[in-house]
A and B are shown apart, each in its own frame.
Chain A
Amino acid sequence: MTLSDFPPVAFTAMAFWAIGSLLRLSSRRRPLLAYASYGIMVAGALLLGWFIAAYWHTLERPPLRTLGETRLWYAAFIPVVGFLVELRWKIAWLKYYCMALAAFFLSINLAHPDVFDKALMPALQSAWFVPHVIVYLVGYVLLAASSAAAWHNIISVFRSGADRLGYAVSHYLALLGFVLLTFGLVFGALWAKEAWGHYWTWDPKETWAFISWLAYLGYLHLSAHGTGRDKLQWYLALSFLVLLVCWFGVNYMPSAQNSVHSYQPN
């Protein structure tokens, strides 16, 4: 599986999500149709999962090295969060946000195709590579979903008043996302010790990872202290912007000139 096989896979996945969503929305009182619609939406995510596995196999290294490669994982994971939230809290709307976000990630990849490159520089050849990056990925996915839920809550407060279940969703997604950010941070530190001799050097990437972690630490404490739920939705919705800076904004900072984490080869 190489990148020339990517566009058909991406378009098929997006088509699955679109068709599944339409079926689901029009299946009001027909349970059979509803099940079919789920099957189709889940198939979209599975298709991407299969592509990642096959691409990994051809590359002979984990496809986690470039931003484009990590976007593939986001596109596969984000819808899964939407499905799981529905399974657990019976909240249906989140999955549509999630599939839209995933389609957005796939579109970026379609517009800017990656270069097929098997090389994995020595710094990345480590047992820490996969856990560190995957944990961060899943953390980002959960926080993206949390932010989507928060935006939804903000909008629905204007329209129809507060929804306790909606608050619970954005809260628990943020909590789990924070847990994964913490693991990612510590794994990164342990890896940095093995790769570069010290666990923390205030490299711009590390600094921004720390800032995003503090932002969610702040959220949890505001929440523990009983700050109003409505205000907290704004906080969650906006914290994600800090994460976005950490994820791909860092490269544009003046401080990034001497960063050791270059997430784009050459």
Chain B
Amino acid sequence: MMKAWFGDGGFRVSAMVAVLAVTIGFAVQYMIGTGVPVFHWPYNALFVAVFAALLLVFGVLFRNNTFVLWIGGIPFGLSLIFAIAFLSLIGGVIPQDGQVAGSLPGRLGMNRIFSGWPFLLVVLLFLCNLGLSVVWKTVPFRFSNLQFMLFHGGFWIVLACGLAGASDLQRVIIPVYEGRESSRAYIPHENRMMQLPFSVFLEDFSIEEYSPQIVLYDPQNDRVMSGRQGRETEVRIGYKASWPGFQVEVLDYMPHAIPDSSGTPRRTGKSEGIPYAKVRIVAEGTRVERWLNTGSPFIRPGVVQLDRYFLVMFPGSPKVFRSGVVLTGAGGRKTVDLEVNKPAAYAGWKLYQMGYDEKAGRWSQLSLIEAVRDPWLPAVYCGFIMIMAGNALFFWKGIKRRETV
């Protein structure tokens, strides 16, 4: 009986169990109405440790038991891979964190699929499957199994530690104004403020922009048309662009300028000035010369009307935004520059340049800094490194073998 169902693959039972796990998961989700309860440190760590130990013991002691062999076998693993793919498909189509309260997908937790019961059940079964297969390939140790151990073991660690550690992950936002200090942060998901163990003083917030663009604006259709450019693609002296019927050439360009009392632009410093361009517009025998500017909260944008269109100069998109901050707290006093892609570590936290007041753009006084604490990161990264090492070995195997499959 046991052999007939579970022996030699057992694809049918595997598929049935996977479908059952998904179904039971949705049923539980429907009845309870909330996602999986979360365990914090140290209970989640304890759970992962006990789980891993059990897999090791069962794997070693019962490696000839038909049922245990089935749990750790490929058919069950495959069925669970497809079950995870199916649940991810739901998560990839239905907006996550969307408000669908009351509707059936909402009650089934489809808008929070990755923290719901079906996903948890399937992943737990999958970790059993994956864990057993790793144990069997690791004990006794053989070098020829190294690729398997690294890849599968790494995947187990990333899945187990990533999911169990999610409850210990803290991501908060620190809004801070130039010249001020703050040690309070906003927790988005709980919609409340918290006290940080350190404070952030914003010395300076600055934005660098790409060079501006000269475009034709059609107010009736709210449409922007860029012209045909010559060799020179950046707005500066000598830049040329043409639209059907006329062409524009830049005669003079100042990246940072402000108008004097007569309205003529004068070069100034980087922080207060805005781009000015003197253009010559040539159309069917007429030619005019005008100043364009991008405008700012204090200076009206300089545009030129051409029939029902406007020739305008748009400020370039942000190239770099940077917060010069001073951190004080348990980790002492530290001065750092935060930029996107350049976070800084401080006393167990990592700080990221997140955003600013986008309405004010370059003149924003406000910087949004994200602070993240993820005590499980080293474990997950260890898993990533194992996956990559296994992957490199797999690549080597893939290009070395040339015989038929």
Contacts and interface: CB of A to CB of B under 8 A. Distances in A.
B395 A179 contact: yes
Interface stretch (B37-45, B60-68, B87-95, B244-252): B87-95
B401 interface: yes
A164 interface: yes
Nearest to A227: B78
Contact of A116 (B162, B233, B340): B233
Interface in B305-363: 316-321, 339-343, 350, 352, 354
A89 B81 contact: no
Given A121-B317, A122-B318, A198-B374, 17 more contacts: A58-B233, A119-B210, A168-B405, A172-B398, A179-B394, A182-B387, A183-B391, A197-B370, A199-B380, A202-B114, A204-B92, A204-B96, A208-B92, A214-B88, A215-B85, A225-B74, A254-B95
A196 interface: yes
Given A182-B391, A202-B96, A214-B88, A229 B405 contact: yes
Given A195-B341, A218-B78, A186 B233 contact: no
B233 A194 contact: no
Interface string A209-252: 01100110110011111000100000000000000000000100
Interface of B: 9, 74-75, 77-78, 81-82, 84-85, 88-89, 91-97, 114, 162, 169, 171, 210, 226, 228-229, 231, 233-234, 316-321, 339-343, 350, 352, 354, 370, 372, 374, 377, 380, 384, 387-388, 391, 394-395, 398-399, 401-405
Q: Which 8 residue pairs across A and B have the least CB separation, nearest first?
A: A122-B340, A207-B92, A214-B85, A126-B341, A197-B372, A168-B404, A225-B74, A164-B404
26 contacts: A88-B402, A89-B402, A116-B229, A118-B233, A122-B320, A126-B341, A164-B405, A186-B391, A194-B343, A197-B343, A197-B352, A197-B370, A202-B91, A202-B96, A204-B92, A207-B88, A207-B92, A211-B85, A221-B78, A225-B74, A254-B94, A254-B95, A255-B91, A255-B93, A258-B95, A258-B97
B238 to A, nearest CB: 16
A199 B380 CA distance: 10
A32 interface: no
A182 B370 CA distance: 29
Interface of A: 2, 4, 58, 88-89, 115-116, 118-123, 125-126, 164-165, 167-168, 171-172, 175-176, 179, 182-183, 186, 189-190, 193-200, 202, 204, 207-208, 210-211, 214-215, 217-218, 221-225, 229, 250, 253-255, 257-258
A189 to B, nearest CB: 7
B394 to A, nearest CB: 5
Contacts of B402: 88-89
Contact of B341 (A122, A210, A255, A257): A122
B341 A123 contact: yes
A258 to B, nearest CB: 7
Given A122-B341, A186-B388, A197-B350, A255 B94 contact: yes
Nearest to B162: A200
B233 A2 contact: yes
Given A175-B398, A207-B88, A215-B85, A167 B405 contact: yes
A115 B225 CA distance: 11
Contact of A253 (B93, B162, B343, B388): B93
Contacts of B81: 214, 217-218, 221
A224 B171 contact: no
A120 B402 CA distance: 42
A32 B380 CA distance: 56
A255 B78 contact: no
A218 B14 CA distance: 14
Nearest to B207: A122
A211 B317 contact: no
Contact of A176 (B84, B210, B350, B399): B399
B267 to A, nearest CB: 24
A2 B316 contact: no
Contacts of A194: 341-343
Contacts of B395: 176, 179
Contact of A118 (B114, B210, B387, B404): B210
A120 B388 CA distance: 28
Contacts of B78: 218, 221-222, 225
A166 B77 CA distance: 28
Contacts of B399: 176
Nearest to B371: A197
Contact of A225 (B75, B319, B370): B75
B405 A171 contact: yes
Contacts of B339: 122
Nearest to B84: A214
A171 B45 CA distance: 40
Given A2-B229, A179-B395, A122 B96 contact: no
Contacts of B321: 122
A176 B398 contact: yes
A2 B230 CA distance: 9
A122 to B, nearest CB: 4
A179 B394 CA distance: 7
Contacts of B9: 225
Q: Which of A123, A199, A229, A255 has the most CB of B within 10 A?
A: A255
A254 B93 contact: yes
A171 B401 CA distance: 11
Nearest to A222: B78
Contacts of B320: 122, 125
Nearest to B77: A221
Contacts of B77: 221
Given A197-B171, A222-B78, A122 B319 contact: yes
